[in-house]
Amino acid sequence: FLIDCGSTSTIISLPLWQQIKKPEEKLIPVQGGIGVAKGGTLLTVSGRVAHPIPLKLGNLETKFFISPLVSPDLSEESLLGQDFL
């Protein structure tokens, strides 16, 4: 995960979502896109993960649960945004 304090939302790529989701899981539809720093460009958003997914950071014992947006346009696998921080 890349920490991005400029991103208002936590986002994961569509390929990552397809790897970690269960077959029956669906995305909650989201209207519009999400702005990125790159010249005001909007990323396409496929939806939001309906059921929070666990996130473990390094050697921390604590698991965090996130419901990120999913984008097919994200160049990284994931961004931790301000909603996580």
Is residue 35 predicted with pLDDT exceeding 80? no
d(CA 53, CA 11): 12
Give the helix ranges, DSSP H, for 1-85.
14-20
d(CA 23, CA 43): 25
Strands 11-13 and 69-71: parallel
Name the pTM for this structure. Answer: 0.85
Contact status, residue 33 vs residue 46, Cβ threshold 8 Å? no
- 61 contact partners, CB below 8 Å, separation of at least 6: none
Tell me the pLDDT tens digit for each residue of 56-73.
888 999 999 999 999 998
